[in-house]
């Protein structure tokens, strides 16, 4: 009787899910998505690694995204999970010591656990690709050209810095896979790192993103890719990197941060900051990494590579691997090169340094700060007045007072520097862009056409958030 009940429940669930999908209803805010973004501007790592193809896709409405790594000829992979709150798919198959090259793809995504759906879309596209290219007499099977796709996944929690639950899904995974290409990786706030941040307990959180670095030693290729969404990023001099992709802007050293915290409030102050990083139903601090080499390595050697690189990364990220983190590292070999001049131990040593470079490359450029104001006429200011909705319980009311605009967060949630029910005077940076006079100069840029304002972009740039004008 119990067995019959279970079958009925599963069938009912699958029927409901299938009906929802076929009718175009995803059961979430993802139903309103526009076409995924798959082309990007900004810093890019270009490198030579023919056995690896990379696809990146984003939903601007989130904003959120995914980064997909595809191995067209298969690869051997392992996984090292160090965080106390990970979100992964199919990692057990990498833990059991298989020496074959059955791994097809690794996916990273935002959206917390919802983003794990990306892996299903990628796996399905690989299935379709194999069906189109398989010989006429091919039969499905683990070792055939129609073998089920082996896709592993990991996610970061990027919901806290935005105001909706739009998340990477199977469709976004397909978009990334279908736009994949070799030798290319956009750095900073793109893909799975579209809305991530860093800083941890060492000062205010700053923007981060995804990073990568590449090195070739003889015929051996070594690449490290990462998504940073956790502790403070630290350079090789021990200084916290604030916003430092293309400049040398750094903050105090980790030692200075500890000293300041202890002097200002003793150990209680430090613990209070650390407590903010602990899980409250979700993993809020997560760093994801993929180490890829073409050097032939056994499963055991790859596992040691994963352990050593993950350990070395504690130099670049502080704190790291805490109870509230979802830290995951995949180590993969395409098994193409047998370089007798390079031992596995040397590969591990090089990889640790390349990984640090990848972390440092993830931090986006510092935005240009305004130093003067532009005069905007009253009629134009009146056009901008109204209520702008970001998502559930997050809205901004704009009104004109004399020759300037005032913004007030009217929902239950603060919108970065705009606290609920607190008036903030906006400074004018241009005719349609205004900013708050604070350290970060939180900005609003109004959008529309034909003299009709339809919305605004909050903090325009790589980590912009969209709001719709509702009245």
Q: How far apart are CA 233 and CA 447, in angstroms?
A: 34
The answer to whether residues 360 and 211 touch, using CB atoms and an 8 Å cutoff, is yes
Beta-bridge partner residues of 45: 185
How far is C-alpha 386 from the chain's CA centre? 32
Q: What distance in Å separates the CA atoms of residue 395 and residue 468, rounded to the nearest whole number?
A: 9
Helix (H, G, I), strand (E, B) or coil at 433: strand
DSSP state, residue 116: G
Print burial letters for 74-90: b (CB count within 10 Å at least 16), e (below 16). Answer: bbbbbbbbbbbbbbbbb
Within 10 Å of residue 407's Cβ, how many Cβ atoms? 24
Peptide bond just before 200 cis, omega within 30 deg: no
Report how far apart, in Å, the C-alpha atoms of 427 and of each of 194, 389, 414, 469, 471 are.
27, 21, 19, 20, 23
**CA–CA separation, 372 and 350 (whole Å):** 47
**DSSP letters along 294-361, please?**
EE---HHHHHHHHHHHHHHGGGTEES-S-TTB--EEEEEEEEEE--TTS-HHHHHHHHHHHHHHHHHT
Residue 311 catalytic? no
**Other CB atoms within 10 Å distance of the CB of residue 341:** 9
Distance CA 434, CA 22 (A): 43
Q: Which of 66, 67, 196, 286 is catalytic?
A: 286
> Active-site residues: which are they?
286
């Amino acid at each position: 009787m119990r067995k019959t009940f279970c079958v009925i429940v599963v069938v009912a669930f699958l029927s409901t899910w299938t009906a929802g999908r076929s009718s175009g209803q995803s059961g979430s805010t993802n139903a309103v998505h526009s076409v995924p973004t798959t082309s990007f501007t900004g810093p890019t790592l270009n490198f030579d690694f023919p056995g690896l193809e990379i696809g990146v896709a984003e939903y601007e409405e989130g904003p959120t995204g995914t980064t997909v790594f595809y191995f067209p000829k298969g690869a051997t992979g392992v996984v090292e999970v160090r965080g106390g709150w990970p979100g992964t798919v199919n990692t057990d198959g990498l833990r059991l010591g298989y020496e074959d090259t059955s791994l097809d793809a690794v996916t990273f995504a935002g959206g917390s656990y919802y983003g794990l759906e990306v892996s299903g879309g990628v796996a399905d596209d690989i299935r379709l690709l194999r069906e189109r290219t398989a010989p006429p007499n091919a039969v499905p099977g683990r070792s055939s050209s129609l073998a089920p796709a082996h896709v592993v996944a990991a996610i970061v929690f990027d919901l806290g810095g935005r105001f909706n639950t739009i998340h990477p899904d199977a469709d976004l995974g397909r978009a990334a896979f279908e736009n994949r290409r070799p030798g290319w990786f956009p750095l900073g706030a793109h893909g799975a790192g579209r809305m991530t941040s860093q800083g941890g307990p060492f000062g205010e959180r700053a923007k981060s993103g995804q990073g990568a670095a590449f090195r070739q030693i003889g015929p051996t290729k070594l690449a490290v890719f990462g998504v940073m969404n956790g502790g403070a990023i630290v350079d090789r001099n021990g200084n916290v990197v604030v916003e430092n992709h293309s400049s040398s802007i750094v903050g105090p050293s980790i030692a200075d941060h500890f000293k300041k915290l202890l002097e200002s409030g003793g150990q209680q102050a430090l613990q209070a900051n650390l407590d903010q990083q602990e899980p409250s139903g979700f993993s809020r601090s997560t760093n994801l990494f993929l180490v890829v080499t073409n050097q032939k390595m056994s499963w055991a050697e790859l596992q040691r590579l994963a352990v050593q690189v993950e350990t070395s990364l504690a130099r670049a990220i502080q704190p790291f691997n805490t109870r509230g983190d979802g830290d995951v590292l995949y180590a993969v070999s395409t098994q193409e090169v047998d370089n007798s001049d390079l031992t596995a131990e040397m590969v591990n040593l090089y990889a640790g340094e390349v990984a640090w470079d990848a972390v440092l490359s993830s931090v986006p450029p510092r935005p240009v700060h305004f130093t003067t104001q532009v005069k905007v006429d009253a009629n134009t200011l009146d056009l901008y007045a109204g209520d702008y909705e970001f998502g559930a319980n997050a809205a901004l009311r704009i009104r004109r007072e004399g020759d300037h605009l005032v913004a007030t967060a009217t929902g239950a949630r603060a919108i970065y520097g705009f606290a609920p029910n607190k008036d903030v005077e906006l400074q004018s940076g241009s005719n349609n862009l205004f900013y708050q006079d604070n350290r970060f100069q939180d900005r609003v840029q109004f959008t529309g056409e034909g003299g009709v304002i339809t919305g605004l972009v909050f903090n325009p740039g790589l980590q912009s958030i969209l709001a719709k004008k509702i009245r």
